[in-house]
Structures are given as structure tokens and as C-alpha cells.
Amino acid sequence: MNPVVQHWELRRMDEVTWEVVGVTYTPRSGRRDFRATVHAVHPEDSAITGTDGDRYPLEPSTTGTEALFVVQADLALLERQCSGPRDMPCAGCGAPVVGTPDELCFHCEGLEASA
């Protein structure tokens, strides 16, 4: 079991990525800085699951629990937005593009616009 992360805070790294930073303490290792990229949050348990698959308990706090609910809602929204088709072939040249099957890559869009 991972040690409890103390004095933690959630940080948004970019539009789709959150991280938790804080410190852990064990009698054997002493105080260590902690940083993990968030895959899922568990506000009811005051914990996160990192992108490494490990579950990390967080020191409980009222404002921390509120922040976990905000991040949980944000991650759920991002998942709904990203649940559409991905890595489809460009309708013009076949290069992979994120979108629907009839979308063009930037290169083919430029060619179509100049024609």
C-alpha cells in the first residue's frame, strides 16, 4: 500500500492532464516529494489512481475533496468529448487524422482551398 500523500494539491498541466503534487512520509524513507499524473479520482475515498495504475491515498480535507469532485467532473467531460472516432484516415491522402471519416488533414485542406 502506498503511503498517504500529505500537503497535496491538484494542478492542471494542460487541457486534458491533471497532476497531484505533495509529500509522503514513511519512517523508513523519511519525507519524499510526490508527483503523479492523474488517471482517475476517488473523492469518496480521498484517493487518486495514477497513470501508472497505482492508487494513492490523499490526506483528507474538505477543500481537497471539493477539488477532487471538480477534477472528476472535468475528466468525465473530457472522456465524453473524446469518445468519438479517432485516428481516422484522411479522406484525401489516407494520413491518420483525429475526427470523422470524411475529414481532411491540414495538407489536403490546404490543397482543396487553393484549388
Q: 55-68, pLDDT tens digit by residue? A: 999 999 888 999 99
Residue 64: enclosing H or E segment and its boundaries? helix 62-81
Contact 38, 20 (CB under 8 A): yes
Query: Is this prediction's pTM over 0.85?
Result: no
Answer for the pair 50, 39: CB distance below 8 angstroms, yes or no.
yes
pLDDT value of residue 49: 93
Q: What is the pLDDT of residue 50?
A: 92
- Number of DSSP helices (H) and strands (E) in the chain, helices first: 2, 7
Closest CA relative to residue 93, chosen from 69, 75, 109, 115: 109
Q: By C-alpha distance, which of 111, 84, 112, 114 is closest to 100?
A: 84
